């Protein structure tokens, strides 16, 4: 007889209301009118209103269809649309209109492109800098299949922080991230740090990882020079995605934060609702000290 695994109920401390403030509605309107993609809205991020109120927003470039099919991610998978060469300017102008003080730029994976989308990445960074001279920037990049010449293009554009997420522990990577490889991601982060930029990474909890594996992730990231580390709770986007194996209590997240700081990270964001770009401007400020 086949045992049916019972779905774990979401605890009260994880139940949230999506933002409905007038400011959020206005910024969402700007995003739609300019045909932009943001993780804040498409991912229904619980922190969107808070981040936007602080002048931080996360934009997704290179379309909204990914060439990879990671089992935790709700971004559509398939054949992407042709590259929109006008997108970088629209992003930059919208950041100006929205009065964004700290912009986080991310993208889908574009394995269909010879440069993995690096050219559009560089153009976006440059346009944002040209039009928003006071705006700081974090870029959350794909692995570019570990190609250093493509990573160098992003580095040369000089964003303040370059982030690339491990997403999970080594053992679970093949099941969760499909094409991406744990050691390739570590290599990407090492290349960023070795070139003198702030390297940042993060993982999700609640996918079946064990504590010793989380601690090993910390050690692996510190060894390659990562300064900023984030931990948040995985939430299953749809029934087709991987189920949550555990809702990790906030106290455990607090414990991981303390451990991470003691181990040597300059900054650690760790709580159930943390997402990679949460409190991102503070990461830059902390690293200036």
Domains in the chain: boundaries: 18-288
What integer is the mean pLDDT of 260-277? 91
pTM of the model: 0.87
Percent of the chain with pLDDT over 70: 79
Q: What is the mean pLDDT of the chain?
A: 85
Q: Does domain 18-288 have CATH number 3.20.20.70?
A: yes
Q: Which of 79, 64, 153 is nearest to 113 (CA)?
A: 79
Rounded-to-integer distance, Cα 211 and Cα 227, Å: 21
What pLDDT does residue 240 have?
Answer: 84
Return the pLDDT at 150: 98
Q: Which long-range contacts (CB under 8 A, 24 or more apart) does 243-248 make?
A: 243/5, 243/7, 243/8, 244/8, 244/206, 244/207, 245/8, 245/206, 245/207, 245/208, 246/8, 246/205, 246/206, 246/208, 247/8, 247/10, 247/11, 247/14, 247/206, 247/272, 248/205, 248/206, 248/272
- Give the mean model confidence (pLDDT) for residues 51-67: 76
CA distance linking residue 62 with residue 108, whole number of Å? 6
Which pLDDT belongs to residue 217?
98
Which pLDDT score, from 0 to 100, does residue 160 have?
A: 92
pLDDT band at 40, cuts 50/70/90?
A: low
User: Quick check: 122 pLDDT over 80?
Assistant: yes
- 41 vs 178: CA distance, rounded Å: 25
Question: 155 or 23: whose pLDDT is higher?
Answer: 155
- pLDDT at position 8, please? 76
Strand partners, 138: 104, 161
State the pLDDT at residue 1: 36
Confidence of residue 2 (pLDDT cuts 50, 70, 90): very low
Residue-level pLDDT at 257: 97
Q: What digits encode the pLDDT tens for the residues 77-119?
A: 889 999 999 999 999 998 898 888 889 999 999 999 999 999 9
pLDDT for 199 beyond 60: yes
């Amino acid at each position: 007889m086949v045992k049916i695994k019972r779905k774990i109920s979401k605890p009260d401390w994880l139940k949230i209301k999506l933002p409905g403030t007038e400011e959020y509605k206005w910024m969402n309107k700007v995003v739609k009118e300019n045909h932009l993609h943001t993780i804040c809205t498409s991912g229904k991020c619980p922190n969107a209103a808070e981040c936007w109120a602080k002048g931080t927003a996360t934009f997704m470039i290179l379309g909204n269809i990914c060439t990879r099919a990671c089992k935790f991610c709700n971004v559509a998978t398939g054949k992407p649309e042709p590259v929109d060469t006008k997108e970088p300017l629209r992003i930059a102008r919208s950041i100006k209109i929205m009065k964004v003080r700290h912009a986080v730029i991310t993208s889908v994976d574009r394995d269909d492109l010879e440069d993995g989308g690096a050219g559009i990445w560089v153009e976006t960074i440059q346009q944002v800098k040209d039009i928003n001279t006071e705006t700081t920037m974090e870029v959350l990049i794909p692995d570019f299949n570990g190609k250093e010449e493509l990573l160098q293009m992003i580095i040369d554009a000089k964003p303040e922080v370059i982030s690339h997420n491990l997403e999970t522990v080594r053992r679970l990577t093949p099941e969760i991230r499909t094409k991406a490889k744990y050691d390739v991601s570590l290599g990407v982060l090492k290349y960023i740090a070795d070139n003198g930029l702030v390297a940042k990474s993060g993982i999700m909890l609640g996918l079946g990882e064990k504590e010793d594996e989380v601690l090993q992730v910390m050690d692996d990231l510190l060894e390659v020079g990562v300064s900023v580390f984030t931990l948040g709770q995985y939430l299953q986007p749809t029934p087709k995605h991987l189920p949550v194996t555990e809702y990790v209590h906030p106290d455990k997240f607090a414990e991981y934060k303390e451990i991470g700081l003691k181990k040597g990270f300059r900054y650690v964001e760790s709580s159930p609702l943390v997402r990679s770009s949460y409190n991102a401007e503070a990461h830059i400020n902390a690293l200036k000290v």
